[in-house]
Structure 1
Amino acid sequence: MTIDWTLRARDVVAGSLLSGSEALALLAAPPADHPDILAAAAWLRRRGFKMSVKLNYLVNVRSGLCPEDCTYCSQRLGSDADVLKYSWLSPDEASAQAQAGVAGGARRVCLVASGRGPSTRDVERVAQMAEGIKAADESIEVCACIGFVDEAATARRTRASTLTTTTSTPRAASTEICSTHTYDDRVETVTAARNAGLSPCSGLIIGMGETDEDIVDTLSDLVALGVESIPVNFLMPFEGTPMAGRWDLTPERCLRVLAPETEIRIAGGREMHLRSQQPVALTIANSLFLGDYLTSNARPRPALASLRPPHRPHPARGHRR
């Protein structure tokens, strides 16, 4: 399939979204097409979002101690990864951490808690955190990522403006990645957010062995669910997890997955996998996280020395002795 990506971008603006076969063609396009794809995506991004970049800040309000067995996660049940483990932060502690991000320019604060889903008391905690953050600055958006929420009333009680879950994997491969919950559990959380009048946010993780078809299927599901913000994470293969040592991504592959038809947030693993292409990524995506992530730092530090991709010689040069 030969596609003029510049013309196709103009069709997208007119309301003709990419078909499944076109999306697959984009992911599989030869390297010679890469500049044209990036240029078309950048044009779309400027049309929809100009050159603005939305800054987000993550507050890990409960770390580790998770009963779920997601194979990519350093907080998973049975993980040997060396991560901090603590129960809930107090509302004052969460607000203080949030203010650090706001001072750095963040306009959205994401409250993230490990675990399957919130109890009634947990929802109250999140509501108090959200109220404290909004009391300091009413314009700040508060996003809650607190596990599975299947009722709109529960979603509303968080006092958040956005509710997040990560579909993570395509439906077809979900049982291989996690056995303790289903793809539909995540879909129900997105539906609960939408029914509660909150902005639904859901993204994906790439680099876990997924196919092009898997990526297209997952993104198609997100569009069908009416997701308004899509965080794109790139696998960080932590030691102590089943995904340790997996390095499937290149900067070019990561850039192909980003698309500007909605708010696309460059999330975990961007420093590791995009590397020198991070500025290029922001000509396509329009949102990113400031600061550190859940259990990893946003900049290379000694603790992450083992989390570096293996050296791969340039294909045109080969090894030099």
Structure 2
Amino acid sequence: MEIAKRILDGEDLTKEEALSIYTDDSIDTLDLVDEAYQLRKHYYGHKVKLNMILNAKSGICPEDCGYCGQSRDMKVKTRYALVSKDKISQGATVANDNKIGTYCIVMSGRGPSDKEVDYIADTVEEIKAKHPQLKICACLGIANEDHAKKLKNAGVDRYNHNLNTSKNYHSEVVTTHTYEQRVETVETMKKHNISPCSGVICGMGESNEDRVDMAFALKALDADSIPINFLHPIKGTKFGDMDELTPMKCLRILALFRLINPSKEIRIAGGREVNLKALQPISLMVANSIFVGDYLITGGQPNKLDFDMIEDMGFEIDENHMMSEV
């Protein structure tokens, strides 16, 4: 196929070509993984970046996202307002002590209030004073210019706001905010020199065309980091009974996103354990970044299993990437 060679020579795939490659059953998935691996190796060698989430505010949300166990339509068991600054700071210390380069502070809700942004900004300043090398990613929802300024001044390195799905399929996933509002938040953060992190959730009934559109939308956004979530169905949600992914399909999705966004950090995020199953190690041949520990309201596998997986595959933890991309 020599797809990777063409891309490294400066050629971009078109949407039509990407869709053809992704849907062509005559192209073996592991051959596609090998093409993606050549790109991953070129840009990232054998390094793996580690990320950790803190769920700083849980279950208090007016949005109707069909995948989310914290949405307004769910009776959330774990429901709390912003946790203490000490708890957020303690999480940063845990991340630092476990060679985790990016610490993600996540809040439920449509978007933060001014008071909440001030609270997070003050906490980030305290964390940066103690762990200046730790990259801080804020994931607070739909945010505005003033929020971006405050977060940047406090030392926030990266802002996560996922597109989640394609523009075409967005109304099937959520009706309480628009696709354009998500794009605007990412662009606002970029404007204030905060590294943009934006990704997707696959397995919610979207089409193959939607997945290709998602990958190209993130290319157009120039997202530095692209977390790829695989739906972990939660009973009671709109997509709670959906089960359309297989481990091989997940590998193919990862390869698609690498081929379209060859130099970007591709991160395997929520749902990797339940969807990739025994093929998790192979996914590292495409992705160069993973979340370790638990997610927002679903559990991850023990850190030791992730560290063993990285070592067994001949990869190594990237301990020096924290500030290099900001």
User: What TM-score do you get using the length of structure 1 for normalisation?
Assistant: 0.88
Separation in 1, partners of 2:233, 2:185: 26
Aligned position for 1:154: 147
Paired amino acid for 1:154: H
8 Å CA contact 1:26, 1:256 repeated in 2 = no
8 Å CA contact 2:148, 2:188 repeated in 1 = yes
Q: CA deviation at 1:26?
A: 2.6
Report the CA distance shift for 1:208/1:296 in structure 2 as closer, same or farther (over 3 A): same
Aligned position for 2:318: none
Paired amino acid for 2:233: P
1:39 aligns with 2:34: yes
> Residue 229 of structure 2 aligns to a residue in which SS?
strand
Separation in 1, partners of 2:97, 2:182: 32
8 Å CA contact 2:108, 2:140 repeated in 1 = yes
8 Å CA contact 2:227, 2:266 repeated in 1 = yes
> CA-to-partner distance for each residue in 1:78-137, whole Å, 9 max, x for gaps?
213x54111001211101022222222101000000011111111111112212221221
Separation in 1, partners of 2:163, 2:217: 9
Separation in 1, partners of 2:8, 2:294: 35
1:299 to 298, 301, 304: 301
Paired amino acid for 1:45: R
Matching of residues 300-315 of structure 1 within 5 Å: none
Q: CA deviation at 1:257?
A: 1.5
8 Å CA contact 1:155, 1:163 repeated in 2 = no
1:108 aligns with 2:102: yes
Q: CA deviation at 1:215?
A: 0.8
Separation in 2, partners of 1:192, 1:223: 17
2:183 to 187, 191, 196: 187
Number of positions where the alignment pairs a residue of Structure 1 with one of Structure 2: 293
> CA-to-partner distance for each residue in 1:229-284, whole Å, 9 max, x for gaps?
10000101101211112101011111112143110010000000000111000011
2:78 to 80, 84, 87: 84
Aligned position for 2:291: 289
Paired amino acid for 1:283: M
Aligned position for 2:92: 98
Separation in 2, partners of 1:32, 1:111: 40
Paired amino acid for 2:289: S
Moved over 3 A (4+): none
> CA-to-partner distance for each residue in 1:30-54, whole Å, 9 max, x for gaps?
2652221111111110001001000
8 Å CA contact 1:230, 1:265 repeated in 2 = yes
Separation in 2, partners of 1:83, 1:289: 23
After superposition, the CA RMSD in angstroms is 1.3
Separation in 1, partners of 2:176, 2:168: 15
Paired amino acid for 1:157: K
Matching of residues 205-220 of structure 1 within 5 Å: 205-220=201-216
Larger radius of gyration: 1
- Identical amino acids, percent of aligned pairs: 40
> Residue 184 of structure 1 aligns to a residue in which SS?
helix
Separation in 1, partners of 2:134, 2:95: 11
Gaps of at least 5 residues in structure 1 are 301-321
Separation in 1, partners of 2:244, 2:292: 25
2:63 to 53, 68, 87: 68
Q: Which has the higher contact order (CA 8 A, sep 6+)?
A: 2
Q: CA deviation at 1:299?
A: 2.9
Separation in 2, partners of 1:238, 1:200: 28
> Residue 168 of structure 2 aligns to a residue in which SS?
helix
Separation in 1, partners of 2:247, 2:30: 13
8 Å CA contact 2:199, 2:226 repeated in 1 = yes
Paired amino acid for 1:196: H
Aligned position for 2:317: none
Aligned position for 1:51: 46
Paired amino acid for 2:136: V
Report the CA distance shift for 1:31/1:86 in structure 2 as closer, same or farther (over 3 A): farther
Aligned position for 2:231: 235
Paired amino acid for 2:188: A
8 Å CA contact 2:29, 2:251 repeated in 1 = no
Q: CA deviation at 1:11?
A: 1.0
